[in-house]
């Protein structure tokens, strides 16, 4: 089945046509190019360019766009991901999975799932299992398919990957029943045999725990509901783009065509925030959606944590903690780092609310103004806690044992007890 990727060219004045827009599409499984560099993109409308290609199921792709604004000017490059594409239910609605990291043979892959209502309130599942499928669609035999529940609405599953497990793209399908309704979520990983080419830092281990803790401070920003938003169409009248990407799969999504809910022959790309119909829609069809999205990407959250850790290093006594050696950071320091990371995230959110599209989700400029005021108060509260914890870094924990030496003095010409002890012992 064909898929469409697209990009927009914007200046301060808004959408603008470029002199030329070309692209390449790389298969991230074997590093080959499905579409070679220099391929000309289709010009859909003012400032909007797209390309239709036929992906393999279960394969993630890197799309690189090269934009030249003027004949003799300099070009700039942007990138985005496409896929992996995978059918996760027997229903007609299909979903594009979220990419959750690259792991090595013989390692451990961690899958996390957060279940909430549409408004972001955590809730538990009555039933929950996980299935894992390989690059060829074959199901991996698991010793246990029941995830571990960490807290309300939060589940973890760790897959011990065999040393001889085949390399390639794998899909983990979460199947759950919440409030009597069956739901699914699709998460994708890559398995590699090359130990030097593994990027699991933000998807496993201690950093994964810290990132989850930070998300608890930002939970509302990671579960923002949007109701009945009208989509922007593309030239083919099959792909419809919505304002915000990073949709939360498990909260569900409703797609409307002419105010009627559609449940057949559509694909939802939760990562990019697009809906693709199998059949071309007419020029009179109007598409809307209810969806729930997260404001920050995993990469942004990790950057906030990393910056906060470097700020913490500057407080006395100077330290050199880093995310690359995260195990060396004492647990007592993490509350301070998380507070500062939350401050960094709130600053980013406040900056975003200075612009038109982000303001829209909070009711327009006036609503965004009230939100910024409330965020400023919250930021100051977090900063106060951060300063207190960071200033106390210099005191550190007291040792469990210590020696206290009290010197003794005698009158002039006398001898100390210590000297007499040494003299007597030596004889």
Residue 222 covered by a domain: no
pLDDT over 60 at 263, yes or no: yes
Indicate whether 275 and 341 sit together in one domain.
no
Residue 235 covered by a domain: no
Indicate whether 134 and 256 sit together in one domain.
yes
Nearest Cα residue to 234 out of 269, 204, 262: 269
Task: Grade residue 90 by pLDDT with cuts at 50, 70 and 90.
Answer: very low
Write out pLDDT tens, residues 278-293: 888 888 889 999 988 9
Q: Kind and range of the H or E element at 260?
A: strand 260-261
Indicate whether 93 and 76 sit together in one domain.
no
Taking the C-alpha atoms of residue 387 and residue 280, their distance in angstroms, rounded to an integer, is 57
DSSP designation for 355: S
Indicate whether 146 and 275 sit together in one domain.
yes
Q: Which range has highest mean pLDDT (57-61, 294-298, 356-360)?
A: 294-298
Q: Kind and range of the H or E element at 233?
A: strand 232-233
- How much is the pTM? 0.60
| Residue 314, helix vs strand vs coil | coil
Contacts of 120 (CB under 8 A, 6+ apart): 219, 220, 222, 223, 224, 225, 251, 292
Residue 216 covered by a domain: no
pLDDT over 70 at 413, yes or no: no
Taking the C-alpha atoms of residue 206 and residue 200, their distance in angstroms, rounded to an integer, is 11
- Between 169 and 331, the higher pLDDT residue: 331
- Between 387 and 403, the higher pLDDT residue: 387
Residue ending a domain, choose from 50, 82, 114 = 82
Residue 365 covered by a domain: yes
Residue ending a domain, choose from 231, 266, 295 = 295
Taking the C-alpha atoms of residue 29 and residue 343, their distance in angstroms, rounded to an integer, is 37
Write out pLDDT tens, residues 98-131: 667 778 888 788 787 878 777 667 788 899 999 8
Residues 68-77 have a mean pLDDT of 82
Q: What was the pLDDT predicted at 419? A: 45
Q: Which domain holds residue 42?
A: 3-82
E-strand ranges in 69-126 read: 75-82, 85-86, 94-96, 98-104, 108-114
Q: Name the domain count of the chain.
A: 3
Residues 222-228 have a mean pLDDT of 87
Indicate whether 64 and 88 sit together in one domain.
no
Question: Would you state the torsion angle of the CA atoms of residues 47, 53, 59, 61, taken in this order, to the nearest 10 degrees?
Answer: -30
Alpha carbons within 13 angstroms on the beta-carbon side of residue 113 total 31
Nearest Cα residue to 78 out of 21, 39, 27, 31: 21
Indicate whether 161 and 260 sit together in one domain.
yes
Residue 217 covered by a domain: no
Q: What was the pLDDT predicted at 421? A: 45
Residue 223 covered by a domain: no
Indicate whether 60 and 134 sit together in one domain.
no
Residue 283 covered by a domain: yes
């Amino acid at each position: 089945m064909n898929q469409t990727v697209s990009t927009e060219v914007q200046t301060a004045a808004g959408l603008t046509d470029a002199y030329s827009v070309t692209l390449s599409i790389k298969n991230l499984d074997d590093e080959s190019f499905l579409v070679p560099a220099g391929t000309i993109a289709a010009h859909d409308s003012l400032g909007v360019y797209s390309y239709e290609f036929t992906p393999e199921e279960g394969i993630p792709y890197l799309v690189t766009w090269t934009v030249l604004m003027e004949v003799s000017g300099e070009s700039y490059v942007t990138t985005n991901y496409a896929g992996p594409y995978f059918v996760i239910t027997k229903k007609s609605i299909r979903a594009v999975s979220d990419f959750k990291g690259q792991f090595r043979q013989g390692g451990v892959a961690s899958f996390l799932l957060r279940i909430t209502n549409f408004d972001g309130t955590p809730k538990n599942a009555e039933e929950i299992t996980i299935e894992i499928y390989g690059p060829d669609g074959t199901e991996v035999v698991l010793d246990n398919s029941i995830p571990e529940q960490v807290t309300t609405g939060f589940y973890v599953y760790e897959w011990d990957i065999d040393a001889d497990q085949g390399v390639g793209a794998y899909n983990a399908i979460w199947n759950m029943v919440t409030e009597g309704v069956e739901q699914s979520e699709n998460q994708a990983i890559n398995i590699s045999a090359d130990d030097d080419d593994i990027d699991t830092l933000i998807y496993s281990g201690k950093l994964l725990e810290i990132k989850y803790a930070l998300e608890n401070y930002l939970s509302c920003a990671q579960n923002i509901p949007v109701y009945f938003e009208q989509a922007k169409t593309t030239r083919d009248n099959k792909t419809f783009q919505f304002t915000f990407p990073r949709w939360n799969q498990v909260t569900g999504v409703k797609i409307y065509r002419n105010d009627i809910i559609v449940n057949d022959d559509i694909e939802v790309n939760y990562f990019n925030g697009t809906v693709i119909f199998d059949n071309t829609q007419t020029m009179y069809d109007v598409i809307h959606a209810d969806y729930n999205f997260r404001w920050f990407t995993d990469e942004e959250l990790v950057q906030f944590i990393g910056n906060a850790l470097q700020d913490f290093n500057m407080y006395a006594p100077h330290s050199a903690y880093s995310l690359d050696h995260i195990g060396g950071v004492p647990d007592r320091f993490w509350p301070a780092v998380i507070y500062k990371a939350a401050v960094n995230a709130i600053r980013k959110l406040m900056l975003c609310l200075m612009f038109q599209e982000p303001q829209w989700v909070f009711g327009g400029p006036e609503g965004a103004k009230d939100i910024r005021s409330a965020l400023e108060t919250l930021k100051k509260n977090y900063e106060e806690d951060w300063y207190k914890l960071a200033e106390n870094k210099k005191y550190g924990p007291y040792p469990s044992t210590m020696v206290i030496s009290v010197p003794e003095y005698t009158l002039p010409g006398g001898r100390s007890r210590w000297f007499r002890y040494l003299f007597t012992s030596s004889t």
